[in-house]
A and B are shown apart, each in its own frame.
Chain A
Amino acid sequence: MSEPRLIEVRKNVLKQNDLLARGLRERFRRAGVFTVSLVSSPGSGKTAFLEKTLIRLKEDFRVAALVGDLETENDAMRLARAGVPAKQIITGTVCHLEAAMVEKSLEDWDLNELDFLFIENVGNLVCPSSYDLGEQLRVVLMSVTEGEDKPLKYPTIFNTADIAVITKTDIAGAVEFDIEKARASIESVRPGMKVFELSSKTGEGMDGWIDFLQAGRKKSEEADFLTAK
């Protein structure tokens, strides 16, 4: 019987996903579509937030959305009612989206026809953090009903996101939510992170978010323009 041999590997376990994500990011860049993904726990108001965002943006831009769920096409149907192309990615038992699922869902979409693409991840604050989807901006949402220390409990997801959005601020008073405490939690796990506070229901705070998205898209286009030169 032969002796065991030790061989060096040094490979990232998620290399396959990372390569696909890199390819997607390049495709988005070439097509001039600004891609934003949303992560949060179930029930934090991702779909309502996305619905309002899409309605606001579609006045001036071409927008579309991919939504991940374990089961049902309810979210995509709800977004389609907002009058924008929306496709459901049903993950079955998988608790997160992966770059390959995004790539597959985009097969019959022409990215050149889009200005903004939104990807709503499965409601889960743990697993999505490991998978790059090729997005240019990752947004983590937390609602005022979740407790101010949510970021301290799930630091990894806040760490892989670019900005945070606190949702359902219209009921913050009723649930005695302390916004400053929540902001301090976010600052602790991700110093310097930009935070929006808003209510999808009343529209309060939405203007700042929409302006930020438009500026982000413009900035990414200008960066491309500079590299193209």
Chain B
Amino acid sequence: MHELSIAMSMIEMATDEVMKNGGTRVDALYLKLGRLSGVVKEALLFSWEVACQGTLLEGARLVIEDVPVVVHCRECEADQTLDSINRLFCPVCRKAAPEIVQGKELEVTALEIV
């Protein structure tokens, strides 16, 4: 359960942005969360509320965009989206596709600042 420290890093980052851009609080934080990021969405949402208390982000919404795993298949010479994260095989030709092009994201994309 490292989601609490992840939440705290996000708050720190958002607070810096508020200082830089001039504002008093954050209404929402937008996050891209890859399925292979090692972070569990539910645990992060739970930690979020707790971690935001007493900060400029108290009451802020955490808007998570789930990012599926996309691999590059050399056989098909194409990127393929996978349903599962424990079978890195091309859904079309069934060959192994270890090259991950998307799905490890843990990225703050935007903030709503007041």
Chain A positions near chain B (C-beta within 8 angstroms): 1-14, 16, 94-96, 126-127, 129-130, 151-153, 155-157, 159-160, 187-192
Q: Does residue B1 face the partner (Cβ distance < 8 Å to A)?
A: yes
Contact of A187 with B38 in the complex, beta carbons under 8 Å = no
The smallest beta-carbon distance between B21 and chain A, in angstroms, is 6
User: Interface residues of B toward A: which range?
Assistant: 35 or more
For residue B114, which residues in chain A have a CB less than 8 angstroms away from its CB? 1-5
Pick from B6, B36, B109: contact of A156, CB under 8 Å: B36
Contact of A12 with B106 in the complex, beta carbons under 8 Å = yes
Using known A-B contacts A9-B17, A130-B6, determine if residue A189 contacts B87 with beta carbons closer than 8 Å: yes
Across chains A and B, which 4 residue pairs bring their CB atoms closest together, nearest first?
A: A191-B96, A127-B2, A129-B38, A130-B38
Pick from A5, A14, A156: contact of B9, CB under 8 Å: A14
Chain B positions near chain A (C-beta within 8 angstroms): 1-2, 5-6, 9-10, 13-14, 17, 21, 23, 27-28, 31, 36-39, 85-89, 96-98, 100, 106-114
Pick from A9, A130, A188: contact of B110, CB under 8 Å: A9
For residue B110, which residues in chain A have a CB less than 8 angstroms away from its CB? 6-9
A96 to B4: give the CA distance in the assembly, Å.
13
Query: Whose C-beta in chain B lies nearest to the C-beta of A155?
Result: B86
Contact of A191 with B97 in the complex, beta carbons under 8 Å = yes
For residue B87, which residues in chain A have a CB less than 8 angstroms away from its CB? 188-189
Contact of B88 with A5 in the complex, beta carbons under 8 Å = no
For residue A157, which residues in chain B have a CB less than 8 angstroms away from its CB? 38
Judged by DSSP, the binding face of A is mixed
The smallest beta-carbon distance between A10 and chain B, in angstroms, is 6
For residue B13, which residues in chain A have a CB less than 8 angstroms away from its CB? 9, 11, 13
Pick from A5, A10, A94: contact of B5, CB under 8 Å: A94
For residue B21, which residues in chain A have a CB less than 8 angstroms away from its CB? 5, 7
Query: Whose C-beta in chain B lies nearest to the C-beta of A152?
Result: B86
Pick from A9, A96, A130: contact of B106, CB under 8 Å: A130
A183 to B32: give the CA distance in the assembly, Å.
32
For residue B38, which residues in chain A have a CB less than 8 angstroms away from its CB? 126-127, 129-130, 156-157, 160
